[in-house]
Amino acid sequence: MNLRKVTLLSLPADPRGMDLDLPASPETPPPDSDRSVAVVGGGAVGATAARDLARWDVDVTLFERDAVGAGATGRAAGIVYDAFAEDLDAAVADRALDRFRELSGTAEFELTDRPYVWFAREGDDRNAEAIREQVPRMRANGRDVDLLAPGEIADRWPTLCADDISVAAVAESSGTTTPSTYAAATAELAEADGATIETGTAARIETDPVAVRVGAERRQFDAVLVAAGARTPGLLADPGIELASEAYRVQALTVGVEAEDDEQRDRAAALPSFYDATGGYYARPKDGELLAGDGTEPVPADPDDWDRESDAWFRDDVLEKLSGRVDGVESTASDAWAGLCTATPDRNPLVGQVESGLFVATGFHGHGFMRAPAIGELVARQLCGADGIAAFDPARFDGRDEFEIVEGMALDEH
């Protein structure tokens, strides 16, 4: 093994007592790359981990039961930002954004720079105060974030109604993309660097020693990462491992925006991504339409038996809210769907080792895609002997204790 000097990028310490110490370049190898690794799950996190392992010359095989990016990643909104007040969250998001930008332009993946605005309406004192409190903390973390007056919103985005907004903030270093293209481009790079990608392959997990079973074949590896989203706890249930993670259902839709001329179309396309904290929904421009959603159901969902169609109440509610927020929104959704997110008791993800040679990455509260480039790298390094983050350690919980599911877009998550 070639030994080389490693320069660490020391990011700010989190108030909870953890650091995110990653090499200045993802190309810097981890302590031990002479091993075989299986990654189960071809979403954004799994594809990132496979790519990084392959670039470090690890013998890595990615197993995906459908197509790469076809699961939760393919149903994600594609909004990415670094507007977090907690130091650790901000550091993870910053690393992820840097890596998104480095990859943009590869295959079909493109990251479009687009500000992210979040606001509280008049009379919503709780969320208004939360925004005022968050912005200075975000700026202290080096985030390009500012408070916005309603008049500033009107000047920058004339088609976005701000008449009833009391407090708003904007994160300038943000963007939007199509999540499935990121997973596909990353998997292609992994394969080019030597990874084996097996799609249409349902895998089961075995332990003692750790292995992946495909049909009747048992395939042994030095380490296995399960990054299969809401299906992760079920895959670990067979070997008797319990995770403190629950799946919950969310919904989204797309709707057209009427435009009589090119100027109106340009204005609609230039809108920011935004989150109405009072109304509890988000929206972003996408291919001449708006993609909007939330529709969170704060109850556990069965990853093997859940409704993938949207509910009428959700469509009616979001369309009504959008019609008063953005000029020209049509009255009927062009498409609508549901997806699954994963929650944990303390809202931090489960990233790290659960048993000798067996690792997981799940529990992202709807923020898995935007964190994927950083989380995938972090867990890939753990697979090769590097340290993890204590706040994300799956062993911090004892089994699957009951807990209240809280949506990831809540302002105290920023």
Q: What is the CATH number of the domain that holds 145?
A: 3.30.9.10
Q: Pick from 35, 44, 26, 83: which is nearest to 362 by CA?
A: 44
pLDDT of the residue at 42: 98
Give the domain range for residue 159: 113-172+246-343
**Same domain membership, residue 284 and residue 256:** yes
Residue with tokens 């790290």: 352
**Same domain membership, residue 367 and residue 258:** no
User: Among 290, 324, 343, which residue terminates a domain?
Assistant: 343
CATH, residue 41: 3.50.50.60
Asked if residue 311 has pLDDT above 90, the reply is: yes
Counting the structural domains of the chain, the total is: 2
**Same domain membership, residue 336 and residue 260:** yes
pLDDT of the residue at 411: 65
**Same domain membership, residue 146 and residue 282:** yes
pLDDT of the residue at 16: 34
**Same domain membership, residue 262 and residue 153:** yes
Q: Is residue 100 part of a domain?
A: no
pLDDT of the residue at 405: 86
Q: Is residue 14 part of a domain?
A: no
pLDDT of the residue at 253: 98
**Same domain membership, residue 256 and residue 373:** no
Backbone angles phi, psi at 112, to 5 degrees: -95, 120
Per residue in 179-192, pLDDT (tens digit) is 999 999 999 999 99
Written in H, E and C, the secondary structure of 39-56 is: EECCCHHHHHHHHHHHHC
pLDDT of the residue at 375: 98
Q: Is residue 97 part of a domain?
A: no
**Same domain membership, residue 130 and residue 251:** yes
pLDDT of the residue at 363: 96
One-character DSSP codes across 312-352 = HHHHHHHHHHHHTTBTTEEEEEEEEEEEEEEE-TTS--EEE
Q: Are 277 and 122 in contact (CB under 8 A)?
A: no
Q: Specify the pTM.
A: 0.93
What integer is the mean pLDDT of 272-282?
97
pLDDT of the residue at 177: 98
User: Among 313, 343, 373, which residue terminates a domain?
Assistant: 343
Q: Pick from 406, 325, 322, 308: which is nearest to 366 by CA?
A: 406
pLDDT of the residue at 406: 78
Q: Pick from 72, 396, 45: which is nearest to 243 by CA?
A: 396
* Token pair in block for residue 293: 């959603």
Extended beta strands in 71-181, E state: 79-80, 112-113, 116-121, 145-148, 165-171, 175-176
User: Among 343, 359, 376, which residue terminates a domain?
Assistant: 343
**Same domain membership, residue 406 and residue 369:** yes
* 5 confidence band (pLDDT: 50, 70, 90): very low
Report the mean per-residue pLDDT for the chain.
92
Beta strands 246-257 and 329-343, pairing class: antiparallel
Per residue in 86-138, pLDDT (tens digit) is 999 999 999 999 999 999 999 999 999 999 999 999 999 999 999 999 999 99
pLDDT of the residue at 366: 93
Asked if residue 393 has pLDDT above 80, the reply is: yes
Q: Is residue 92 part of a domain?
A: no
Backbone angles phi, psi at 137, to 5 degrees: -70, -40
pLDDT of the residue at 409: 63
**Same domain membership, residue 253 and residue 231:** no
**Same domain membership, residue 278 and residue 335:** yes
Q: Is residue 103 part of a domain?
A: no
Q: Is residue 11 part of a domain?
A: no
CA atoms within 13 A on the CB side of 133: 11
pLDDT of the residue at 408: 64
**Same domain membership, residue 144 and residue 71:** no
Q: Is residue 107 part of a domain?
A: no
Q: Is residue 86 part of a domain?
A: no
**Same domain membership, residue 147 and residue 123:** yes
